[in-house]
Structure 1
Amino acid sequence: MLRPSQINSLKYAAGLTLTSVAIGVTGFMTIEHFNVPDAFYMSVITVSGGGYEVLRPLSQAGRIFTSFYILYNLLVVAYLVSVITTFIFDGELRKIFKMYRTDQEIKRFSGHVIICGFGSNGRKAYQKLLNNSVRVVVIEQNEQLIRQLSEGYNGADIDGDGVPGGKIFYVFGDATLDPVMEQAGIGRASAIIAALPKDSDNMSVALSARALNPRLNIIARASEKTSERKLIAAGANSVVMPDEIGGSHMADLVVRPEVIRFLDLISGLSADKLRLEELSFQQLRREMQGRSIRELDVRSLTGANVIALRQQNGTLVVSPDANYCPAIGDVLLVLGNETQIEAFEVRYRQL
C-alpha cells in the first residue's frame, strides 16, 4: 500500500520535472528568442541529458543560463531517480499492481458485505462473516492496519481463534466519502457494517450508504445511547452498542451464569460451539413444503431442534406448535451442534 509520504514524493518529483521544463521553455524563449516548439526541444534535451544537436549557437547569456539550468536539472534528475529506485527496491510497483487487481475483483462482487473500520469490532465481524462463507470488503484508512491486511493477514488467523482468514479484499480510504464506498461496490452490496470509532462517522456512513443503495441492510456501531436514535434516523436498520452489551453480559454472568454460558455456546464464544441457523420457507426443499413441524421431524432425523419461528407478519413464535405448517414468508430457527446443523442443511435446504 502506498504511504502518504511516498505519494507526496511522487507528486513532488513530477512537479519538479514539470517546473524544470517550464523554466527552460521560458528561459530559451526570453534569452534566445526560440519559438515554443524549439524552446521545448531545448529544455527536454537539457533535462534528459540526451546530448542531441543544439538548434543554433547560444549567446553568452544563453550559455550562462544553460549552465545553471543543467546544474539545477542534475539535482532534479538525482531526486527523480532516487524516488523511482525506492519504488523498485521496496516493491511498491508490485503493490500498485496488486491493488489494481484487487479493485478489478471487487468490481465483480455482488451481494457482498462491506465493513467500515478494521478495529476490534470490525475484525470480529469479518471473522464471523468469513466463517459463514460471506464475501467481505473492508474499508480502512489506518495505514498500519492496511499494511497488516495486505502483508500479514492474507491467509493467516486474524483474531487468534485458529480459523484462517483467507484473502482479504480491502479499500484504502475514508469510509465517509462516497467515492471510497463506490470503490467498495456499495451499489451491489447486500449489507454494510459501520464499525468506525466515532458515532458521527458512523452516521455519515449510514447517510451516504442509504443514499447510494436504498435496499442496503445497514448495521451501525454506537458508543453513546443518544446516538442510537440518530443512527436510525440516518438510515441504519440496526444499531449495536458493544460497551452496553459487554456491561450487561458481565452483570448477567453474576445473576444467571448458566443462561449466559448457553448463549456463549450459540455465539461461538465457548469452545463447545452450538450453531443457530435459519431456513426460510422458500429455501425449504419442495417436497418438504406444506408439511407441519411434526411431519418435518427435524429432531429425529438430524438431532437439531426447531426452537423458534418468525412468521411473515414479523411475529416471533418460540417453541412453535408441532402441528403448525410453515407458510410462505416464515423462517425456521434451528439450533444444534455443527454436525447436526450440517445434517439439517443437507436434508432440508434446497440445493
Structure 2
Amino acid sequence: MPRSIERIFIATFLFFLSIIGGTIGYVVIEGYGIVDAAYMAVITFSTVGFTEVNPLSDIGKIFTTGYIVVNLAIFAYSVSVVSSFLFEGELQKIFKNLKSSREVKKLNQHVIVCGFGKNGAQACEELYAENRPFVVVERDPEVIKSFSNERNYMFINGNATMDEVLEEAGIVRASTVITALPNDADNVFITLTARGMNQGIRVIAKASEANSETKLYRAGAEHVVMPDRLGGIHMANLVTKPVVIEFLELLNGVGEEKLMLEEVPYSRMKDEFHDLSLKDLNIRQRTGVTVIAFKDDVQGFIFNPHSDKIVSEGDTMIILGRYDQIHNFLDIYLKH
C-alpha cells in the first residue's frame, strides 16, 4: 500500500477509535445514553467548546482532560496528513498512480524494467527511443520523485522481488523483463519469479560479480550483462582496435554520421516481398541500407549474405544504414 494512502487509513482509524473510546468512556463513567455520550465525544474531539450534556463528576473531568490531550495529538496528525495531500501534491500522486495502473493494464507484450538506477535508466532511454512499450518498477519513491518525467514513463513504486508487484506490472502479458538491481541476489530472485509466473518471458539480467553470471543463467535468464566487464573491454579496445570502436560508436549514435542497426523479421515484410532473393528485393539501390547478416532456423547467422539468398519464412534480416535510410526501408518494405 502506498505510504500516503496508509497514512489516510491510519488517521481515519484513529478518529473513529477516539470517538468510540470517548463514547464508551462517557457511558461508563457518567452514565450517559449512547446519543449523549457520542455527542460529548464529538464536541470534545472537535474542541468547539459547547456546554456539557450534564455536569461532569471529578472522574469525568479527569477522563475528559486526558481525552482532550490524546485528541489533540490525533487532530495534529490528521491535519498533517490532510495538509500533505493539499499542499505537497500527495493527492495528485495518487491520481497519477491510479492512471498509471490503468495504463499498465492495457499493455501487452511490453518490457518490465526492474530498477531505475544508471543501467535501468539507460535501458529505458533506448526503449523509449525505439517506441517500445515498457513499465518501470522502482522501490525508492525518492528516485521516482527526482526524475523529471517529461517522457511520461510508467512507474510502479514497489519491490520487484514481490509477486504482487510483478503482477501489477503485467508480468503475465509482458514479453521481456530487464532486471537491473544493484544486488545480484535480487536479480536472481526476480529471474526465478518471472520465469515461474510466465514461462515464455525473456529475461535479461544485470550481474556485478562474476560468480553471479552462472547463477542467473541457471535461474532462467536468457542474457546476462556485466557492465563493469563491458566497460573494461571497451577501454582496452580503444587502444587495440580504435577504428573498430569508432565504427561501433557510430552505431550507438555517437559522432556526426549516426548509423542504425535494425532487425527485420520475415513476418513484418509486405507479402509482395516474400520469398524473393536479395537481388530481386534490390534493397541497396532503393533505400541505401546494407543487409549485413541473416538469421534463419537452419543455419543460424549468415554474415554478408549472397545476393541469391532467398528471404523465406523464419528469416530475420539485419540491416545497417543512416536514420533516414532505415526509415525509407521501413516505409517501402514493411507492413503498416
When the two structures are superposed, what TM-score results if normalisation uses the length of structure 2? Answer: 0.90
Are residues 1:177 and 2:162 paired?
Answer: yes
- Partners of 1:333 and 1:320 in 2: how far apart? 10
Aligned-residue CA RMSD (Å): 2.5
Note the C-alpha offset of 1:129: 0.8
Matched with 2:149 is 154
Q: Percent of counterpart pairs with the same letter? A: 41
- Partners of 1:314 and 1:46 in 2: how far apart? 83
Matched with 2:207 is 222
- Partners of 1:213 and 1:37 in 2: how far apart? 57
- Partners of 1:147 and 1:314 in 2: how far apart? 49
Matched with 2:130 is 132
Task: Work out which of the residue numbers 264, 280, 284 in structure 1 matches 2:265.
Answer: 280
AA at the equivalent of 1:195: A
Give 1:34-49 correspondences, 5 Å limit. 39-40=37-38, 42-49=40-47
- Partners of 1:194 and 1:136 in 2: how far apart? 13
Note the C-alpha offset of 1:199: 0.8
Matched with 1:202 is 187
- Partners of 2:231 and 2:77 in 1: how far apart? 53
- Partners of 1:77 and 1:123 in 2: how far apart? 42
What secondary structure is seen at the aligned counterpart in 1 of 2:113? strand
- Partners of 2:33 and 2:300 in 1: how far apart? 82
Relative to structure 1, the CA distance from residue 339 to residue 226 in structure 2 (aligned partners, 3 Å threshold; closer, same or farther) is same
**Deviations for 1:287-344, whole angstroms, at most 9, x for unmatched residues?**
1111111111111111111110001236100011211212110101111111111111
Relative to structure 1, the CA distance from residue 342 to residue 309 in structure 2 (aligned partners, 3 Å threshold; closer, same or farther) is same
- Partners of 1:314 and 1:36 in 2: how far apart? 85
Task: Work out which of the residue numbers 230, 237, 245 in structure 2 matches 1:260.
Answer: 245
- Partners of 1:271 and 1:22 in 2: how far apart? 72
Aligned residues: 335
Q: Give the unaligned 5+ runs of structure 2.
A: none
What secondary structure is seen at the aligned counterpart in 2 of 1:196? coil
Matched with 2:310 is 325
AA at the equivalent of 1:285: K
AA at the equivalent of 1:118: F
AA at the equivalent of 1:335: L
**Deviations for 1:83-111, whole angstroms, at most 9, x for unmatched residues?**
31233122221222222212222121112
**Deviations for 1:197-221, whole angstroms, at most 9, x for unmatched residues?**
1111111111111122222111001
Note the C-alpha offset of 1:53: 8.9
- Partners of 1:269 and 1:70 in 2: how far apart? 68
Are residues 1:344 and 2:329 paired?
Answer: yes
What secondary structure is seen at the aligned counterpart in 1 of 2:275? coil
Give 1:23-172 correspondences, 5 Å limit. 23-33=21-31, 39-40=37-38, 42-49=40-47, 58-149=56-147, 153-155=148-150, 166-172=151-157
Task: Say if 1:306 and 1:333, in contact at 8 Å, map to a contact too.
Answer: yes
Note the C-alpha offset of 1:222: 0.7
Note the C-alpha offset of 1:40: 4.7
Task: Say if 1:312 and 1:328, in contact at 8 Å, map to a contact too.
Answer: no
Note the C-alpha offset of 1:17: 3.0
**Deviations for 1:109-150, whole angstroms, at most 9, x for unmatched residues?**
11211111111111111111111111121111223311123x
- Partners of 2:14 and 2:69 in 1: how far apart? 14
Matched with 2:235 is 250
Matched with 1:239 is 224
